[in-house]
Amino acid sequence: MKKAISMLLVMGLSAGLLAGCGAKSVSGSEEATAENPMVLTLSHGLSETHTVHIAMEEFAEKVEERTDGRIKVEIFPNAQLGSETESMEQLTAGVIAMTKVASPILATYEEGYNTFGLPYIFDDTEDFYHVMDSDEMHDFFLSTEDEGFVTLTYYTSGARSFYTKDKAIRTPEDLKGLKIRVQDMESQTDMLDVMGGTPVAMSYGDVYTSLQTGIIDGTENNETALTTGKHGEICKVYSKDEHAMIPDVMVMSAKIWNTISPEDQQIILEAAQESTDSHKILWEEAINDAVEEAKNEMGVEFVEDVDKDAFREATKGMIEDYCERYPGVAELLDIIESVK
């Protein structure tokens, strides 16, 4: 029922997607004017207070300003237009213009995006930014028109680490016998398997109650989940193994991208990158605030002496397997290594 309602809503929106309210239809950005603008719908599942939403608002403002009002971005947060999977279906059909998804979601369309769900492909945050901001990565982002989309930019979602009620996770052996919630992604369940834990895939909204009732022994996420998700009320040990850095990405429908002039495409790409740069600052502040709140108000212990080399060794075979199964993963890993 929810999917049907969201589809009806976006179908109604699509009628005016490339035109302002009450204006005649605009078939491309070259026809758009401030009085009759091209309106790009941007759908995502986050709240208006999330750092990514704030960065996207900046993106929308810059696009409108730099096109003199000819192109406007209308943002629909809180999954108003559907889930990430539903939004991608709508986007590739050209029903909506843009959406924000976790990067591995795009593996359905381009297998290379499986790479971003793999453990320890980035050395640290500095390495992550260096690779993700590179020309080589931007070329990869824009290489998927035939798959129905292009990626405009990325937003960090931090480093994911394990946290439990009372047990530190310093080596893979510490995961044995523990039921750990992971995202419903093949790479995440495979990762927990090779590390020795028991993966339990479930939605983020079910994690708090599942921790509370003992359905799971722990979970993995960035530090903000301790505070915004209130997980720090239950889990008191956060072990900084930093096993994955899975970026969010802002993507655009190839059908709509190709109706935008090269000059306007460049404006959109520059505004997108600038929103990413702004988000880095917002994210660092959010992480620092979350750590302070978790330590001082929730009594969470942050464990720093984690044997990351042991985790890397445990997952080495998994990464080799993914390279064999998905040639696109091997190709993107080669690009990443060449940039480092």
Alpha-helix runs per DSSP H in 93-155: 125-132, 135-141
> For 30-156+245-284, which CATH superfamily applies?
Bacterial extracellular solute-binding protein, family 7 (3.40.190.170)
The residue whose two tokens read 């301790």 is 226
Q: What DSSP string runs through 264-307?
A: HHHHHHHHHHHHHHHHHHHHHHHHHHHHHHHHHHH-PEEE----
Residue 111 sits at the vertex; the CA angle it makes with 106 and 116, to the nearest 5 degrees, is: 65
CATH code linked to domain 158-243+297-337: 3.40.190.170
pLDDT of residue 12: 52
Mean pLDDT by 10 residues, the chain (340 residues): 48 47 67 94 94 97 98 95 92 96 94 96 96 98 98 97 98 98 93 97 94 98 96 98 97 97 98 98 97 98 98 97 97 96
Look up residue 181 and give its two tokens: 């919630």
Distance of CA 317 to the CA centre of its chain: 25
pLDDT of residue 10: 53
pLDDT of residue 125: 95
Residues of the chain with CATH 3.40.190.170: 30-156+245-284, 158-243+297-337
| CA–CA separation, 172 and 184 (whole Å) | 21
pLDDT of residue 26: 79
Q: How many CA atoms lie within 13 A of 316 on its CB side?
A: 7
